[in-house]
Amino acid sequence: MKPFNQKAKITLVGAGPGDPELLTLKGLRALQTADVILYDSLANPALLEHNQHAKKVFVGKRKGWQRYSQAEINSLLLDFARFNYHVVRLKGGDPMVFGRAMEEIETAREHGIEVEVVPGISSYSGMAAYHQLPITQRGISRSFWVMTGTNKDGRLSNDIAIAAASSATVIILMGMSKLPEIVELFTQHKSNDYPVSIVQNATRPDARVLTGQLDNIMALNAIAQLGSPGLLVFGAAANKLDAVTAHLTAQNVLA
C-alpha cells in the first residue's frame, strides 16, 4: 500500500482495440502503478492481470442494469482520487477517439487533480493492420474519415452524407445498428458495387470480417449476423482485405 500523502492522479490509458499485446509500455507502467483501475467492456480484461494489487472496478454495461452514466464514472474517479489514489481509467482503443475522454479530463481539472492521457491503438488502426486493409493507398485512397454512426441525440451525423460524396475511405464506429440508413446514404452518392466491409472484434481471436458492396451488404449481414463491436468500412480499401484473413464474402456466405 502507498503512503497516504501520495498525490492523487488520474491517468486515462488507451487499452488498444482488443489484442492485449496492443498496449503501450507507458500504458503498462500506468497500469502497474495504479491503486484502482476503472475499466469497461471494450478493454480486454487480460490487461487487468498486469496489476495483482489494484482494485478493479467495472464501469461498463451491467447485466440487467443500465450502463454506468458518464456522470457516475466521473464521480467515481473523484471519489477514488480523494483517497490520494492513482486512478487508471482504462478505455478501449484510444481514449481521445470517441471515448468521452474530455469529460473525464475536465472533471479532474475542475478539482485540481493531476491528469494524464496515454494514447492507445484505436480500433480503426488495429483493424487496418490486422486485416491488411489499406485505409490510404497511393493512387487509390488519399484520405480517410473516422466517424461515428450515432450522434448524441441518436441520429445519423450529417458528416456521413458529406463523407459518402467523397472518394475517401470512410470508417464508421458505433454504426452497426444504423447499417440500413448508412448504406442508403451511400447509395445516393455511389454505384451499387461500391465496396463495403464490416469488421467485428478486430484484433481479437474471434474477429469476423464480411466483405460486400452497397447492394448486397445488408442481405449478406442478415445471414452472417456480424454485430458489436463492429466497424463499417466504405471505399476501395474495403475490398483489399488480405486473402489470408478469414473473412466472409458473397461466395461463402451464400454457399
Whether 147 is catalytic is no
E-state strands within 159-205: 169-173, 195-200
Q: Which is nearer to ligand SAH, 89 or 190 (CB)?
A: 89
User: How far apart are CB 234 and ligand SAH at their closest, in Å?
Assistant: 14
Q: Which is nearer to ligand SAH, 8 or 90 (CB)?
A: 90
User: How far apart are CB 184 and ligand SAH at their closest, in Å?
Assistant: 19
Q: Which is nearer to ligand SAH, 8 or 224 (CB)?
A: 224
Q: Which is nearer to ligand SAH, 28 or 96 (CB)?
A: 96
User: How far apart are CB 175 and ligand SAH at their closest, in Å?
Assistant: 7
Reduced to 3 states (helix: H, G, I; strand: E, B; else coil), residue 183 is: helix
Q: What is the DSSP string of 32-60?
A: HT-SEEEE-TTS-GGGGGG-SSSEEEE-S
Element (H, E) at 38: strand 36-39
Any idea which residue has 450522434 for its cell?
A: 151
Whether 174 is catalytic is yes
Binding site for ligand SAH (CB under 6 A): 17-18, 42, 92-94, 97-99, 122-123, 173-174, 199-204, 228-231
The grid coordinates of residue 50 equal 498486469
User: How far apart are CB 53 and ligand SAH at their closest, in Å?
Assistant: 27
CA 228: distance to chain centroid? 10
Contact (CB, 8 A) for 91 and 44: no
Whether 218 is catalytic is no
d(CA 188, CA 27): 43
Query: Which positions are annotated as active-site residues?
Result: 40, 61, 174
